[in-house]
Amino acid sequence: MVFLEAKFTILIFCSVMMFTNFHPTLYLDLPIVRIENGEILGEEHETYFAFKGIPYAEAERFAPPRRILKRWYQIRKFDKFGEQCAQYNHMEYNFLGSENCLSLNVFVPKSVLKSRDSVPVIVFIHGGAFMFGSSIFYGADIIMQEQNIILVTINYRLGVLGFLSTEDEIIPGNLGLKDQVEALRWVQRNIKAFNGNSNKVTITGFSAGGASAQLHILSSLSNGLFNNAISHSGFALNPWVVMENAKAKAYQVGNYLNCNFHKNHKPNHKMLLQCLKKVPTEKLVMAAKIFQPFLYNPFSPFGVVIEKYNKHPFLTAHPKVILENQKYQKRPYIASITKDEGLYPAAEFYNNETIKEIDENWERLAPFLLDFNSTSNNNELKLEWSRKIRKFYFDDEKITINNFHKLIKLITDRLYKNGFYNSLVLQSSHSSNLYCYHFTYNVTKSFTDDLKESKNYLGIAHGDDIFLIYNNRRLNEYSNDELIIAHDFVEMYRTFSQTNNAVYANQSIKPIKSSSFECINIAAVANNRMIKIENTFGEVDFWKTLNIPE
């Protein structure tokens, strides 16, 4: 009789699995989710289930990502994050990660998995200047307290492995962005299994991830894969996004690694590719250091390229040209900036020795710090730009600890605020449902605290808002006000993903219009107001006078 009962139970379990049609079932009190490749188990948290390290694509070195067709026929548990993508960790000065890294994580509130209702989906793209970073650094605890959102975080190839390009069909480039596209396709095919709504997908990202989110709006390759987008502290027109001299950099990497890629005294890209495929991963990744002569600056020597000679391009024109010509998806969009973005990378310069080196070697170092060394081959012109920039921001002062705030402002304007302003000005001429916020709240633990040697307060840094939303510290380390602000951000996410309207702390954010450019200023729990953003923001007019071609 016991045997018959056991057999009957197994039959019922199998029958349920056959007819669930992607809806979750339970096994040992854990939900089983059937995705296209097979059945998976997650990891239980207090308010949600986490499915970590799910492979979404596979790829050979310097090849586009491919959908994984192989199925598995036993239940697989995904309770550990996948490998970080191979990278140089400039915080700890070492190599880490793997080339087998194309995985994503799905976080689902318990109430969502137990229901039959579909909910909006947030897909988060991590930052790291297209050079480093991983989805593992962005927590889900805050977002999962909102019981009507699914969160997906993704890994993508970085640095040389993700963005090296010979500017032709041999190594076309933008592989990291194409990885992101493949992850979005995975979401479209599989998110229903978690009770997610594939028609309400919001892509969002931080820093390079924020720029990526805006680039997906501009790319025809991403058509139909999402509904709206949010960019935090990174935009398509930031000077570090589009890579100049991509082909020359590929040659430099080849020469550095002792590749013989010349045929009849001319560079042969197929020979270069074959050589680079044989180089050990660590040596290939670390080759990027040859483009960073001062600490890790410029922080993004490899980035986005324009693909003129590829059958399946991510970008066919410069982002500015695409925006000017209105040839992009008119999606609802939120852009955000913090007051002192330039603390990344400036916080690491906050010591007397490094500041002295910057002051005494300004004309040599400025092109690398401010990312215009590869913009022009004219050294006299770069010297002129360096001198004009120093005069404008410092007049005749030496650069010291005492006026370090001026260096922060300079880097903030050049590397972040100009791109923020110029992107939105172009987009606002042709798009509705366009919003922005300016973050000026002083958090108790800043993203840049680990970069600087001093405990002195320096400002509202790059990432200070994003790490409230995607907690990288324990919730009991949040102040009460920080918890309120974080929950207001999550409510903004939810409302935007459902309605395409932006609301923060029960206050509607006005859409940006070309004639009235306003952002909500998030300064405190109960003191937020719309502020007008003019061309003094980021000293846009000054930078236009330099006419740096990018």
Catalytic entry in 222, 462, 518, 539: 462
CA 464 to chain centroid: 15
d(Cα 166, Cα 58) in Å, to the nearest integer?
Answer: 22
In one-letter notation, the amino acid at residue 255 is: N
Beta strands in 80-174 (DSSP E): 87-89, 94-96, 103-109, 119-125, 150-154
Distance (Å) of CA 279 to CA 163, 273, 334:
16, 10, 41
Tokens of 149: 């959102």
Backbone angles phi, psi at 62, to 5 degrees: 65, 20
Report the residue count for the chain: 550
Q: How many CA atoms lie within 13 A of 356 on its CB side?
A: 3
List all residues 6 or more positions away from 342 whose beta carbon is below 8 Å from its beta carbon. 407, 408, 409, 410, 411, 412, 413, 414, 415, 416, 462
Report the 10 Å Cβ neighbour count for 275.
15
Does 207 participate in catalysis according to the annotation?
yes
> For residues 463 and 474, what is the distance between their CA atoms, to the nearest angstrom?
17
* Cβ atoms of residues 345 and 207 within 8 Å: no
Note if 462 is an active site residue: yes
DSSP assignment of 519-538 equals EEEE-SSS-EEEEE--TTGG
Distance CA 129, CA 243 (A): 12
Is 336 designated active site? Answer: no
Q: Which of 83, 182, 307, 341 is catalytic?
A: 341
Using CA atoms, how far apart are residues 390 and 405, in angstroms rounded to an integer? 14
DSSP bridge partners of 50: 43, 107
What is d(CA 123, CA 194) in angstroms, rounded to the nearest whole number? Answer: 14
Cβ contact 51:78 at 8 Å: yes
Which of the following is catalytic: 103, 135, 165, 207? 207
- Torsions phi, psi for 401 (to 5 deg): -60, -35
β-strand pairing of 38-41 with 30-35:
antiparallel
* Residue positions annotated with a catalytic role: 207, 341, 462
